[in-house]
């Protein structure tokens, strides 16, 4: 069905504002080579093997670093971490993004936010380009749970979603 036209980007963006999604930081690397960015496109993919899917803009430093390193960490953000989400969404660049919060290196030697409400460490299982983004399928090799209320992106704003 290649003859059916796509909607305009602005129309798509407006429609997707009504889909609430969790906010996370995807990060990779060590020392001054650490790179990361904020995403709201993380989803569980399958249980055998345990995998997740994340979309990352191919023009970002983080996308190139993940491909080079072959692994990445996902830090799930909670309420009160809005400033950190904005910092990793473009408020700072490169290694400077990591300066204002406590980070630890995981079992894959990827940066993980210490006060995250959850973390997942992934080996890059598959990469596929679609338009402007790389779809990264990560095979999950380690997780850590945490406490707190989740941070969500809804109608273009970061919001705290209270636990039930």
Which candidate, 25, 23, 21, 22, places its Cα nearest to that of 102? 25
For residue 2, pLDDT beyond 90 = no
CA distance 152 to 161: 7
Q: Are 53 and 43 in contact (CB under 8 A)?
A: yes
Which residue did the predictor score with more confidence, 3 or 29? 29
Residues 52-100 have pLDDT tens digits of 999 999 999 999 999 999 999 999 999 999 999 999 998 889 999 999 9
Tokens of 93: 């660049």
The per-residue pLDDT for 92 is: 86
Express each pLDDT in 121-159 by its tens digit: 999 999 999 999 999 999 999 999 988 899 999 998 999
Mean pLDDT (whole number) for 42-46: 95
């Amino acid at each position: 069905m290649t003859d059916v036209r796509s909607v305009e980007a602005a129309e798509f963006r407006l429609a997707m504002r009504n889909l609430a999604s969790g906010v996370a930081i995807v990060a990779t690397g060590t020392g001054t080579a650490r790179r990361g960015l904020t995403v709201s496109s993380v989803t569980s993919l399958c249980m055998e093997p345990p995998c997740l899917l994340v979309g990352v803009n191919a023009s970002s430093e983080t996308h190139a670093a993940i491909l080079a390193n072959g692994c990445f960490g996902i830090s799930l953000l909670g309420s009160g971490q809005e400033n950190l989400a904005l910092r990793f969404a473009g408020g700072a660049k490169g290694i400077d993004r990591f300066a204002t919060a406590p980070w630890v290196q995981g079992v894959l030697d990827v940066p993980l936010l210490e006060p995250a409400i959850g973390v997942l460490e992934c080996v890059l299982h598959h990469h596929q380009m679609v338009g402007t983004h790389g779809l990264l399928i990560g095979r999950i090799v380690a997780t850590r749970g945490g406490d707190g209320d989740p941070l969500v992106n809804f109608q273009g704003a970061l919001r705290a979603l209270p636990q039930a």
